[in-house]
Amino acid sequence: MDSVAGQDVRRPLPDGLGTAIRGTARDIAALLGPGTDMERRIPGAEWNVGEGAAHLALANALMAELAAGQERPYGDGTPQSLAEANERSLADFGEREPVPLAAMIVEQADACLRALEEGTAEGPLVTPLGPMNSQELGSYLLTHMLGHGYDLARALGRPHMLDRTRVGLTMPFMLRVMPRVADSSRITGMNARYGVRLWGGDGFGVAVSDGVLSVEERPSARPDCTIHIEPVTFLLMALGRQGQAGPLARGRILVRGRRPWLAPRFPGLFTAP
């Protein structure tokens, strides 16, 4: 995909994105009622519920500032630098009570959305994962909330808030960031063309050529390998919340093409930020 540098970043948000952002923020807030056990550990993570909720509140505030055109240094986009920035921000922010954090998550998601809808920023919106336009930053906010909202729901034994519609609205961000999070050690010397199709939605293409990964908004006519995948499964795998063995066994991933053996390599081409 082309860089957003020099382009008009004030693009109308995709239909439904605002509703998805507000709905996801409210769904997360509903997990954080009075008496919520904020010390409960998040499965597979170092944080507990209080730390995860505090991170979401801080991240939504950061996104609101970025949407308004402010520049906020926050790591260099690598997983290690983002993790270090997260830990520093949590150390400086002492709130861990559920109700105040729930309110902040909702308020800052609304503030980010208002800034994106008003389009007051000039030039590319500078984010921890590179410059983005308003559609991509709104999609980034939604993606981030869905990932951490899923973590909180799992920790608290509650239903998560991911669904096909919301996952579809994460795609502007996902397509923008994929080349940036490609694992150079995995794509060196590789040449392949993938088509990825989400069940009931659109597809996209990924081409790897001599150590360079590019993303196409539509799959090529003759990809080497086409992956059909259930949308929620796609997002969970992309965010590092799920492996591929279980979804393959349950039929949530289907593969075809003249080089189907490329499919198991696809998730490993990327490092989740």
Residue carrying the six token digits 């105040």: 100
Write down the pLDDT at residue 82: 93
CA distances (Å), origin 271, targets 166, 176, 182, 233, 259: 22, 14, 6, 17, 23
Q: Is the pLDDT of residue 261 over 80?
A: yes
Contact 170, 143 (CB under 8 A): yes
Q: For residue 260, what are its two tokens?
A: 């189907």
Using DSSP, state whether 207 is helix, strand or coil. strand
Burial class (CB in 10 A: 0-12, 13-18, 19+), 3: exposed
Question: pLDDT (tens digit, 9 = 90+) per residue, 196-230?
Answer: 999 998 899 999 998 899 999 998 889 999 999 99
| Mean pLDDT score, 1-16 | 64
C-alpha span between 115 and 49 (Å, rounded): 28
pTM, rounded to two decimals = 0.94
DSSP bridge pairs for 255: 227
Question: pLDDT (tens digit, 9 = 90+) per residue, 126-165?
Answer: 999 999 999 999 999 999 999 999 999 999 999 999 999 9
Write down the pLDDT at residue 232: 98
Contact 14, 167 (CB under 8 A): no
In the chain, what are the domains? Answer: 17-163 (1.20.120.450), 184-269 (3.30.1050.10)
Contact 122, 69 (CB under 8 A): yes
What is the total residue count of the chain? 273
Alpha helices (H) along the chain? 17-31, 49-67, 79-91, 98-118, 134-156, 164-168, 171-177, 184-187, 231-238, 245-249
